[in-house]
Amino acid sequence: MFIASTAVLIVPVITTTEAKQSAWIVTFTFPVIFGYMVLWTVYKLGNRFPGLSIVQYSEIILGTFVGKTLGVLIALFWLFMNILVIEEYTDFLRITTLPLTPTSVLTTIIVLLSLYGARQGLEVIARSAQFTLPLFLLIFFVGLILTIPRLNLGWLLPVFEDGVIPVIRGSVVPSTWYGQVVVLVMLLPLVNKPVETKRKGVIVFAAVALFLTIDIVFVIATFGPELTSKLMFPLWSMFKYAGYRDFIQRLEVLGVFIWFTGIIIKTTTLDYLICQTTAQVLGLKDYRSVLYVLAFIQIPGSLIFFTNSIALKEFLGTYWPPIAILFELGIPIFLLIIAVIRKKRTGAVK
Amino acid sequence: MIKKLLYRALGFPKWQGPKGNTPPQRPKETHPLSANIDRNKQDLQQVFDHCADIVYRDIRINVNKPIKAFLVYAEHLIDSKVGNESILRALMSVSPEISIANAEIAEVINERLLTVMETKTTSDLLDLVNQVLKGGVALVLEGSSTAIICMVEGGPERAITEPTVEPGVRGPRDAFVEDYKTNLALIRRRLCSSRLKVEIFELGEITKTEVAIVYLKGIANDKIVEEVRKRISRIKIDVVQGGNVVEELIQDEPFSLFPLVQWTERPDKAASFLAEGRVDIIVNHSPLALIVPITFVTMLQAAEDYYNEAAFTTFIRLLRVAAVNITLLLPAIVVAVVSFHQELLPDKLFNTIATVRQGLPFPIFLEILFVELTFELLREAGIRLPRAIGQAISIVGGLVIGQAAVDAGFIGPLAVVTVSLTAIASFAIPNYSAGTALRILRLFLIVMSALLGGIGIGLGLMFILYYLNGLRSFGVPYLAPLAPWVPGDWKDTFVRVPWWAMLTRPRLWGAKEPVRQDLDQGARKPDEGESQQ
């Protein structure tokens, strides 16, 4: 399978799409460190077991039974994450643009579309991400530039007013976004230049961190911290503000549009991951057969779990971070430690 | 899976093709010629039973001892002038001094008497039959089991004319014709290099159509050439009607909305594609050369681009990108904005539209669909009709229906304006096949946007993006060089850089000899150039 090394490009799209609607991050340092740790662990594991995915090497490290159980758990984690993403997205659409459309219709269409993409394979997903990324950046920066006249930099001060603790607490949730580089545990064996991945990963991290920081600085400077924390989708509101005179207005449509492509690519990637993981656990030859089953789980899944955005936000803020951190950092580190102790490896020592 | 369903729908119980319905596999038969001339003639008459256009001509060759012989040919497939001059006269006015031993009759006649450029010898009757049907004159001799075939093809043929589908202002004025040999000559004339390789295949149980693969050795990627060769030799079919049959049998996807094989009627374009390392496929009786591999941006390139100034071409190319977007999106966006997102319009524009749309009976979606379908009907009718009546259609369609429908208040001018703009934009796309694909996708997007507004368009576009990214033309990703991102190949996509900057061949399909020309040959002012030397 020929996969451009640019599969890594999916990662920024995945990470930033989440961050769009949440301006209540006050920092970017801790999440970046967290994300880097995840990346490092994943990379080390990938180095130890070249050409194998987490499902395969966890079986080597922990034995077949425990390994397979872990594989199932990981598949469930992707599934749950995907349902969350779809839920967030339909929620956003329901509030902003399509108040009267039944959610089930939207969910169904999005799930079917992402399954179609997953069926096309990782390469197609990667290329689609590559295609949309420039557009994404372009629209984002146009939006930012047009907001400049409305900025009030005074809002950004004072720094560390309440000490460091709230900052750390605030960085828990964003950490999980950065931690989503963990998708590489499945993707790494498919990337055709794994050695470059680490370097590229670092670059991607820097880019994403920069991106998010700019985002937050702009949002807070536009609305002030008080208002920002109360807005549901601050960046969207900010794009609403952006404009030049009378003829460039309502940029939030473009914003929604481009954010939306990111979300679709993200759910597609997750779908792909679920299918791959399941297929590897079950020892199936073709991951595509899992796709059809997946459709029946996901559509009702995302309709039943959360009925309103308050519940969703509550869940995302309270219960999700521990789970995410466990799967993103905990399991890979655990595997790495066991692998080091039991001296398991398939690749040559570098 | 779709393939399976389609085969089911066509009435085959299994898609592999059931036992009773497989095409007859005829083994390659042979039937040796005998030394007895009368026996040969009888055999031939039996094969060509009821073939009124096959002519037999008995002659006698007066060498030291006269030899009985006869010519057999298809009446209208040969050039009778050359036949008279070079075969009949050559054979019938020989001096009797030439002595021929019995064993080498065919050889001596072939080498010393026949004044025809291309001859073949065969000792197989069925091979002889095939050659006669391809425009050969077969000479069957008494006492020899070898026949000589003189290739003097002729007969009705169309002259080289100006390109009609891809006309240009500054480029050359010749276009391909139906005869593949002429077409090969037109390409060979442009690329005077022994590296231009031509491989000829014969396809079709009945048609025996020649299909030529043309490529530049050392520049085209060997893997792609091999792949083309493989795919073409895999074809087992009864009739090759035209290039399209070959196209559909060799492309990567069984059901592709977008063309995965480019076609052109311009030899200069075909030649320049060869020089980029692509492969041309020339099918006999088809005035179009097929080109592989291609990408989506090939659809936006016209031959004329390379004869115009670089800056102007860049402008035109950007215009075409806009045209693609308008063709694909404009009606969908209008539907979405008018029926879902009115708040996106500036106040004044909103007022204008609201005033115009007052009292209209149908929603904008139906209006646009109606006008769109009317337009497609007009276009279809216009293609089929003789040119003289075609004019009337455009008047009735454009003026009467358009104007009257708006005046009567069935449809609003907004829909008419939208569809007209879309139509004009769709004509600005150089590739006809790509245009048809976009037309279908446009209808899809209109429906999507009527269902879900702007989000529907977005979902539709994502679907198209996934779809396009999944396509490949002979292994080359369809959206390259955009995705995968190959900045080096951007010089000839949305922009066209001047020739001095076209330093490398496209890298996508691994063309060998990547460098095209010397560095820094750009235009310079006379004194500067001298001072640098």
The shortest C-alpha distance from A12 to chain B (Å) reads 16
Contact at CB, A131 and B459, closer than 8 angstroms: no
- pLDDT value, residue A348: 53
Contacts of residue B463 in chain A, CB cutoff 8 Å? 113, 116
Q: Which residue of B has its CA nearest to A247?
A: B346
Q: What is the mean pLDDT of chain A?
A: 71
Q: Which residue of B has its CA nearest to A265?
A: B462
Percent share of chain B, pLDDT over 70: 92
- pLDDT value, residue B226: 92
**Would you call A286 an interface residue with chain B, using a CB distance cutoff of 8 Å?**
no
**What pairs with residue B59 in β-bridges?**
B69
CA neighbor of A9 nearest in space, from A191, A254, A253: A191
- pLDDT value, residue B10: 59
Q: Which residue of B has its CA nearest to A89?
A: B455
CA neighbor of B240 nearest in space, from B202, B201, B207, B270: B207
Classify strands B119-122 and B67-74 as parallel, antiparallel or unpaired. Answer: unpaired
Interface test mutation site (partner B, options A124, A192, A239, A259, max chain B beta carbons within 10 A): A124
Q: Which amino acid is at B36?
A: N
The shortest C-alpha distance from B447 to chain A (Å) reads 14
Percent share of chain A, pLDDT over 70: 59
Contact at CB, B466 and A117, closer than 8 angstroms: yes
Contact at CB, A113 and B452, closer than 8 angstroms: no
- pLDDT value, residue B29: 72
- pLDDT value, residue A18: 45
Gap between the Cα atoms of A171 and A317, Å rounded:
11
Max mean pLDDT among A254-258, A265-269, B436-440, B445-449 falls in B445-449
Under DSSP, the state recorded for B119 is E
pLDDT over 50 at A13, yes or no:
no
- pLDDT value, residue B325: 92
Q: Which residue of B has its CA nearest to A92?
A: B455
B-facing residues of A in 5-44 (CB < 8 A) are: 6
Our CA angle for A117, A120, A122, nearest 5°, is 85
Kindly report, residue by residue over B58-103, the tens digit of the pLDDT: 998 888 778 889 999 998 888 888 888 888 888 888 777 777 777 7
- pLDDT value, residue B386: 80
**Would you call A264 an interface residue with chain B, using a CB distance cutoff of 8 Å?**
yes
Q: Which residue of A has its CA nearest to B472?
A: A124
Chain B residues in contact with chain A using a Cβ-Cβ cutoff of 8 Å: 340-341, 343-344, 346, 452-455, 458-459, 461-463, 465-467, 469-470, 477, 479, 482-485
The shortest C-alpha distance from A127 to chain B (Å) reads 5
Of B453, B466, B483, the CB nearest to A130: B483
Interface test mutation site (partner B, options A131, A265, A286, max chain B beta carbons within 10 A): A131
- pLDDT value, residue B444: 93
Which residue intervals of B119-192 are DSSP H helices? 125-133, 180-190
Three-class SS state of A213: helix
Confidence of residue B520 (pLDDT cuts 50, 70, 90): confident
- pLDDT value, residue A21: 39
| C-beta separation of A248 from A143 below 8 A | no
Q: Which residues contact B137 (CB under 8 A, 6 or more apart)?
A: B71, B72, B73, B78, B83, B87, B149, B150, B152
The shortest C-alpha distance from B78 to chain A (Å) reads 53
Our CA angle for A229, A235, A237, nearest 5°, is 85
Contacts of residue A261 in chain B, CB cutoff 8 Å? 458, 461-462, 465
Contact at CB, A127 and B477, closer than 8 angstroms: yes
Gap between the Cα atoms of B378 and A122, Å rounded:
43
Contact at CB, B453 and A97, closer than 8 angstroms: yes
Contacts of residue A269 in chain B, CB cutoff 8 Å? none
Gap between the Cα atoms of B81 and A346, Å rounded:
78
Contacts of residue B469 in chain A, CB cutoff 8 Å? 120, 123-124, 127-128, 131
Q: How many Cβ atoms sit within 10 Å of the Cβ of residue B24? A: 6
Burial B467-497 (b: 16+ CB within 10 A, else e): bbbbbbbbbbbbbbbbbbbeeebebbbeebe
How would DSSP label each residue in A269-315?
HHHHHHHHHHHHHHT-S-THHHHHHHHHHHHHHHHHS-SSHHHHHHH
Of B341, B346, B469, the CB nearest to A247: B346
Kindly report, residue by residue over A257-285, the tens digit of the pLDDT: 777 777 788 888 888 888 888 888 888 77
- pLDDT value, residue B213: 95
pLDDT over 80 at A97, yes or no:
no
Contacts of residue A130 in chain B, CB cutoff 8 Å? 482-485
Contacts of residue B346 in chain A, CB cutoff 8 Å? 246-247, 249
Comparing A85-99, B140-154, B366-380, the range with the smallest average pLDDT is A85-99
**Would you call A302 an interface residue with chain B, using a CB distance cutoff of 8 Å?**
no
pLDDT over 60 at B13, yes or no:
no
Kindly report, residue by residue over B299-347, the tens digit of the pLDDT: 888 888 888 888 999 999 999 999 999 999 999 999 988 888 887 777 7
- pLDDT value, residue A3: 33
Distances (CA, A) of A310 to A175, A225, B47, B327: 21, 20, 86, 42
- pLDDT value, residue A4: 32
Average pLDDT of B124-145? 88
Q: What is the mean pLDDT of chain B?
A: 84
B-facing residues of A in 238-257 (CB < 8 A) are: 246-247, 249-250, 253, 256-257
Of A128, A131, A257, the CB nearest to B458: A257
- pLDDT value, residue B232: 92
| C-beta separation of B412 from B367 below 8 A | yes
Kindly report, residue by residue over A28-58, the tens digit of the pLDDT: 566 677 777 777 887 777 777 777 777 777 7
Contact at CB, A127 and B453, closer than 8 angstroms: no
pLDDT over 80 at B32, yes or no:
yes
- pLDDT value, residue B525: 73
- pLDDT value, residue A107: 85
**Helix or strand run (H / E) with residue B456:** helix B432-470
Q: Please determine, for the modelled complex, whether the ipTM score is greater than 0.85.
A: no
Comparing A161-170, B28-37, B358-367, B369-378, the range with the smallest average pLDDT is A161-170
Distance of CA B272 to the CA centre of its chain: 15
Contact at CB, B462 and A264, closer than 8 angstroms: yes
> Does residue B56 or residue B485 have the better pLDDT?
B56
Contact at CB, B470 and A121, closer than 8 angstroms: yes
Distances (CA, A) of A140 to A127, A229, B400: 20, 21, 47
- pLDDT value, residue B291: 92
Contact at CB, A261 and B346, closer than 8 angstroms: no
Interface test mutation site (partner B, options A9, A101, A104, A128, max chain B beta carbons within 10 A): A128
